[in-house]
Amino acid sequence: MPEKSKILIIGGTGYIGEFIVEASTKAGHPTFVLVRESTVSDPVKGKFVEGFKNSGATLVHGDLYDHESLVKAIKQVDVVILTVGNGQLNDQRKIIDAIKEAGNVKKFYPSEFGVDVDRQNAVEPAKSAFAGKSQLRRATEAAGIPYTCLSSNAFAGYFLPTLLQPGAILGDGNAKDCSCF
């Protein structure tokens, strides 16, 4: 039986990351989660961290802005899954540099979780955002890192909290004749 992949998850306490950590540990993979020292003591995110430890995940202290800690964390694994949000997409370059230096990663899953940016025809402002994501893909390729992008389209949960807010629905709720001319 083949050995399970050792997986590092960066962004584990975020919107999607907690589910990736849970799935990885349940699948029996040795799972490592990069966490900042400040995250451990945070009242909200600290609960996630405790849950990770209880599920068998290994906490690796480090930071996206500390290159040496990234390389050290990455050298312990063979798969890196990045689940940072849109606000940190440019920080993905730091991960690319650290993966390249570590030299041991067999597969990188960049933070995509949306449309396939190489196969879309968006208008602004999405067009510019997608161009940035596409540039990150090219940087990953140029670094020679094996990667897979998971394009899942939009997450409904991201939009649902505001979908039925008062005033968000146009009209008074009564059915009207919607004839087209």
Active site residue 45: no
79-82: strand order across its sheet: 58-61, 31-35, 7-10, 79-82, 107-109
Task: Name the catalytic one among 45, 47, 133, 176.
Answer: 133
Beta bridge partners of residue 33, listed in sequence order: 9, 59
Rounded distance between C-alpha atoms, residue 129 and residue 121, angstroms: 12
Pairing of strands 79-82, 58-61: unpaired
DSSP helix/strand/coil, 119: helix
Where in the sequence numbering do the catalytic residues fall? 133
